[in-house]
Chains A and B, each alone.
Chain A
Amino acid sequence: MHIPDAVLDPRVAAITGVMGAAGLYYGLKAVEGQLKERTTSLMGMMSAFIFAAQMVNFPVGPGVSGHLLGGVLAGVMLGPWAGAVVIAAVLIVQCFLFGDGGLTALGANFVNMGLIGSVVGYAIHAPIRRWIGGQRGILIAAMIAAWFTVLLAAGACAVELSASGHRQDFFRILSWMALVHAVIGLGEAMITGLVVRFILLTRPDLIDQDPPRGLEPVVAGGNPSRRWLPTILSGLGVALGVAVFLSPLASELPDGLEFVGQKIGVLADGSPSSPIPVPMPDYQLPLPRLEHVKAATAVAGLVGTLVVFAVSWGLGRAFVTAGPRSERVTTDAA
């Protein structure tokens, strides 16, 4: 998911860099306003935690392992903007000390993993949590948010990677990214869900209350029902921002592929929307047809959503059988 240097179009890197810097600046201001001088210790420690947690590899299959990304986990534990700041710190350390993720792609990576991972993730989490209610709601909402943020981040990544090309390329890259990340998203949802479940069973006070614990001081007096609305709006804003600011780049170069086709005389009579059945080895990579990938992606998305929901429902049963204690906490929170 970490985009390296030189893969993005320089203009895309500049735009996402500005977006990322603005988001981080706002996030820092919001967090500092709420935590005051506690910001450094809490944010620093949680960043160190997410970094350490990313080193724990989960066995997926023979020779394959995955790890936590952590945007939604940080968002659920600390609140959306604090979560984004935590992810930003992790990304900066990874970029400067390990070369993971390019310096010029830092903004894009922060938009994908920090803003979408935590702010948009929380915007998905909050209404579902409220709708289902109780500890079970927290768990199910966290897993669904984790699953969707990974897919959304993959989508944003596809937008950024293909912004200077043709629309056809966007669908090609999107399909591949989404297909791969449907699997990664399942892993993220499972890990996030199991960790949240562990916390709910051992120290429910940490996430059971609506303002996450780190942010108590300021929000304690506010009206709980209105608190998540700004989050949803800012989440929508991030998603729209990616689409609005990057789409002009795509339309500015309307027909990259068609242009190439005419240039090398292959697509002389083909319409731009045709799937290009060209036998030239240099022209199309020996990959499965785009239609198949698209269909597989759609199926993966559907199946994944159902699996995440079913598994999270199953994991949430622990809180129903836990008896009166969880009931009491639920009413307190509501």
Chain B
Amino acid sequence: MRLEALDDRGERAGPVHRLDARSKLLFAVAFVIAVVATPIGQWRILGCLGFLLALLVGISGASVRSLLLRWAGFAVLVSLLAVMVAPGLPARAQHGLGTVILSIVAKNSLAFLMMLVLAKVTSWRDLLQAMLRLGVPRVLVATLQFMERYLHVLGDELARMSLARRARSFRRGSILSWRLLTGMLGMLLLRSFDRAERVHSAMIARGWDGTFHSLD
């Protein structure tokens, strides 16, 4: 399941893993903004940024294969979107349609890979702490922290329900499976509600005051 991507980090601690999360976050944001703001057709700037990214991937020790695999699936979608958007862009008059499409795809790839690298070298907890210190509202950060914690729990719950459903039903006609699947979602929704209530009571009992405390 996609959730595996959440567990995939922090084990292979390299030099970039140990850097302060705030600087990594700011660097990634600055990099993405620089990439996006680069005018179409400025291949030299994009090349420099790409070189920087490659250097970063090399130092961080992120698996190039998994990055490229993730990118390849995504690039197809972006290309389609670029083909749809590019004919209307004013820059087309200067550079021609092909260059515009290629620049959009290249710029997107750089930004996309940067975000993946950031996620690979920074744990979600560190990233949230960094956001908090950089001024993102406390409620939002706490909610995101809570959400990540219970993503796994609800994911497991969903897997159990799906196993139970498969164990009890013989065939999957399309109409039948729509009703079964929505029933499953509805059940998961009810259980999430109840779980939120129970967890909240438990948190209150332990002196919850609206923030997660951290040792870093």
Contacts and interface: CB of A to CB of B under 8 A. Distances in A.
Interface of A: 3-7, 9-10, 13, 24-25, 28, 31-32, 37-49, 51-53, 55-56, 58-59, 68, 73, 77, 85, 88-89, 92-93, 95-99, 102-104, 161-162, 164-166, 168-170, 172-173, 176, 190-191, 194-195, 197-199, 202-203, 206, 213, 253, 256-257, 259-260, 263-264, 282, 284-285
Contacts of A176: 84
A194 B178 contact: yes
A59 B180 CA distance: 12
Given A44-B145, A260-B93, A263-B93, A198 B199 contact: no
A104 B115 CA distance: 11
Contact of A85 (B29, B143, B157): B143
Interface in B108-146: 108, 111-112, 115-116, 118-119, 124, 127, 137, 139-140, 142-146
Contacts of A85: 140, 143
Contact of A52 (B83, B85, B111, B188): B188
A59 B183 CA distance: 15
B192 interface: yes
B132 to A, nearest CB: 13
Interface of B: 1-3, 5-6, 28-29, 32-33, 35-37, 70, 74, 77-78, 81-85, 87-90, 92-93, 96-98, 104, 107-108, 111-112, 115-116, 118-119, 124, 127, 137, 139-140, 142-151, 153-155, 157-158, 172, 174, 177-179, 181-190, 192-193, 195-196, 199-200, 203-204, 208-210
B112 A161 contact: no
B87 A195 contact: no
A89 B140 contact: yes
A285 B98 CA distance: 12
Contacts of B35: 5-6
Contacts of B108: 4-7, 102
A42 B192 CA distance: 9
B193 to A, nearest CB: 7
B189 A5 contact: no
Given A5-B112, A173-B84, A13 B146 contact: no
B85 A45 contact: no
A161 B148 CA distance: 31
A47 B77 CA distance: 26
Given A48-B146, A98-B119, A282-B97, 8 more contacts: A5-B32, A13-B36, A28-B137, A44-B147, A52-B188, A85-B143, A172-B88, A198-B185
Contact of B185 (A37, A38, A195, A202): A195
B85 A104 contact: no
Given A52-B151, A97-B119, A45 B139 contact: no
Contact of A165 (B90, B155, B179): B90
Contacts of A95: 115
B88 A257 contact: yes
A53 B119 contact: no
A37 B93 contact: no
Nearest to A170: B88
A33 to B, nearest CB: 11
B196 A256 contact: no
Nearest to A38: B200
A79 B161 CA distance: 27
B189 A104 contact: no
Contacts of B107: 5-6
Contact of B143 (A39, A172, A284): A39
A169 B190 contact: no
A56 B185 contact: yes
15 contacts: A7-B104, A10-B37, A32-B139, A40-B143, A43-B147, A45-B193, A48-B146, A52-B154, A68-B185, A85-B140, A96-B115, A173-B88, A195-B186, A199-B186, A257-B87
A259 B148 CA distance: 49
